[in-house]
Structure 1
């Protein structure tokens, strides 16, 4: 449109206009960039893939709300020793001022938080816990679906051998058993009050055929409601204890594993009910990085990509 060669303009921007060549963090940008001045009392830590599945640990400030001043550090890799070594470059006095750090349940993240921000309360993100609960429900659904596929294959095989029309059960909504289990995927993610008319009909058939699936769905829903209710930490402890009992009575292995996972991170999980802080800001920032990466159609020069990120968010 302006008679300018795109490749030439991009090259000029990188080498001259952007001041990238004079950037004080250019020499180590591919491995780490740090902005201690953006450190606040409340931080979030998570991981994100920049290109080709290469993971980076991202530390962000909640106060900046995903805008300028958000990036505290972006460090290549997720190994706790390497990340800790980089974060310790931030002045100890600044690190001691951090009062809260939201994170997932990864052991490496918890070690990083403990070593680098000893004064901070660790808060396990509620959405990671809820995600495990919904995945536990889906695991049960998938198990039943494979059984339904196997049964249908056997019916087709026998019908073919006998040269007769296969008798495949079809429910009142028009779904076969295999289709019922496949099409129920999304309704199991949602609360029952958000189901559409068709989803409600499908759920009624599904739960009448598979009572265990209904029991698992209700367990996941109860955990969600514990988090959604604006309760005190002591009340949440009591409700979680009741939920643990229901999990034990259900006999579901996947939920038993989830219960043990929550137990192993019990105090950090309960810390959510102090201020109801989540890792949503970190997830949102990760989405911005991915969107920026898509606009550039991938990342070739990681140092320059991180320079541009820092211009926008640091």
Structure 2
């Protein structure tokens, strides 16, 4: 059955994400949002690749052909969905998911280095340019204790700085490859994942598209869920969500 949904008109950049349907359950729905407008355009009662493709293909090809960029995390299924459903779109791996990957490995290195001071994790993961004078002093003390942690922190900041520059896709790709060649000695896990998704990560530099708007959409969905005390019927839940975002 064709799913009535007019939210797709003229949409060029979308984000695909997942939400848990019930708290504490590994039971996910897939959320599609217009990242430019910050609006929800579809909710799918599945996290399975084939189900997502089947539902999205119910939109006319002329609508799907207008989508130019799809921002996703590095979950294996989403890029395949984009390829099957949106013929003219490129996959953009969300920069915040990539930075999260680097930060998680940095935090692991912090623990391995025996740094457990109160607030040390926060200071190491915070953007260096946003640190207060007091935090900078604390950071210097922390980094003196471990050469490996010091290099890891330096490379984290270098990686973040790449994203801040006005680069072309090719320039961005070259800079990330250069970073990988150096940083892999410390960031073994993150560098492997980044290398495997390098094209999608580099596509960020086309238009600096991110899934940032998806966080706002997901937070609003959670609020609607709480206000409704949960939905037994998914179709009713979907209709309610789409109606709330069409205001």
Normalised to the residue count of structure 1, the TM-score between the two structures is 0.71
Query: CA offsets, 1:268-304, max 9 Å, x none?
Result: 11111111111112222112112333444x4143444
Moved over 6 A (4+): none
Change in CA separation of 1:92 and 1:244 when aligned onto 2, cut-off 3 Å: same
Larger mean CA deviation between 121-130 and 86-95 belongs to 86-95
Residue 110 of structure 1: CA displacement?
Answer: 0.9
Structure 2: which 5+ runs fail to align? none
Change in CA separation of 1:221 and 1:50 when aligned onto 2, cut-off 3 Å: same
Change in CA separation of 1:122 and 1:203 when aligned onto 2, cut-off 3 Å: same
Alignment of 1:55-204 (within 5 A): 55-63=28-36, 65-66=37-38, 70-145=39-114, 178=116, 180=117, 182-204=118-140
Alignment of 1:193-272 (within 5 A): 193-248=129-184, 251-252=185-186, 255-272=187-204
Q: Distance in 2 between matches of 1:196 and 1:71?
A: 37
> Quick check: which has more Rg, 1 or 2?
1
Alignment of 1:263-282 (within 5 A): 263-282=195-214
Paired residues, number: 242
Matched, 1:308 2:240: yes
Larger mean CA deviation between 189-198 and 41-50 belongs to 189-198
> What's the counterpart of residue 230 of structure 2?
299
Normalised to the residue count of structure 2, the TM-score between the two structures is 0.88
Q: Distance in 2 between matches of 1:192 and 1:124?
A: 23
Q: Distance in 2 between matches of 1:265 and 1:193?
A: 27
More helix by proportion, 1 or 2?
Answer: 1
Q: Distance in 2 between matches of 1:86 and 1:235?
A: 37
Equivalent position SS for 1:130: helix
Residue 36 of structure 1: CA displacement?
Answer: 4.8
Q: Distance in 2 between matches of 1:295 and 1:210?
A: 49
Q: Distance in 1 between matches of 2:102 and 2:60?
A: 39
Q: Distance in 2 between matches of 1:184 and 1:278?
A: 28
> What's the counterpart of residue 173 of structure 1?
none
Q: Distance in 1 between matches of 2:4 and 2:135?
A: 48
> What's the counterpart of residue 165 of structure 1?
none
Q: Distance in 2 between matches of 1:302 and 1:235?
A: 49
Equivalent position SS for 1:187: helix
